[in-house]
Chains A and B, each alone.
Chain A
Amino acid sequence: GDSVTQMEGPVTLSEEAFLTINCTYTATGYPSLFWYVQYPGEGLQLLLKATKADDKGSNKGFEATYRKETTSFHLEKGSVQVSDSAVYFCALGGYNQGGKLIFGQGTELSVKP
């Protein structure tokens, strides 16, 4: 079945460090790929998305590229801030998934000053 696998957390970084959170997927068809962020006690916010192979999604300094050949959608940011501390979820969804989103297990990021 369809699935999303993220690197395990927690990930702890110092402010201004480079961030990579790995995400790989297995899916039928050609789903869209998403990164969501969840701050403590809140719902999820859409961070970025990509709808087809080689698309790059970007927002607030974060970016991820839809790599069909490696079935990956790794999240990167060049310089993290303390305010980026949150849980990040990779997800996929499309018509073959019945409009539903398939989520990874989430990766907790903690950025220290």
Chain B
Amino acid sequence: GAVVSQHPSWVICKSGTSVKIECRSLDFQATTMFWYRQFPKQSLMLMATSNEGSKATYEQGVEKDKFLINHASLTLSTLTVTSAHPEDSSFYICSANGQGTMAQHFGDGTRLSIL
């Protein structure tokens, strides 16, 4: 149980394009989802907390106009990297709280490469 699916797993695109990443909870409802960014050989950096039906809460230093988050249903949150540039290249991971627990269940991540 508590499976989180993230799509796509890998994307390469040209500078200036926008990229959408989907995060789905497959077998449970997730009122809260989280988006992280991870640089090579480093820990996870929380970007934002996504709440179903309301605006996301961004961490300090994260550009909300750059990283658009939508959480339109209890099983889907999306992260759109707008006008992506090479410095946005990274590994992006989403997670969702299991019901009644503080444990987060993670997707397999999306490797984003901007040329």
Using a CB–CB cutoff of 8 Å, the interface residues on chain A facing chain B are: 31-32, 34, 36, 41-46, 49, 51, 89, 93-94, 98-101, 103-106, 108
Contacts and interface: CB of A to CB of B under 8 A. Distances in A.
B35 to A, nearest CB: 12
Dominant secondary structure at the B interface:
strand
B30 to A, nearest CB: 12
B55 to A, nearest CB: 15
Given A31-B102, A32-B102, A89 B43 contact: yes
B112 to A, nearest CB: 13
A31 B104 CA distance: 14
Interface residues of B, number: 23
Contact of B32 (A42, A51, A99, A104): A99
Contact of A43 (B41, B46, B93, B102): B93
15 contacts: A32-B101, A32-B103, A41-B111, A42-B108, A42-B109, A43-B4, A43-B93, A43-B107, A43-B108, A49-B103, A89-B43, A94-B102, A101-B34, A101-B46, A106-B43
A10 B69 CA distance: 35
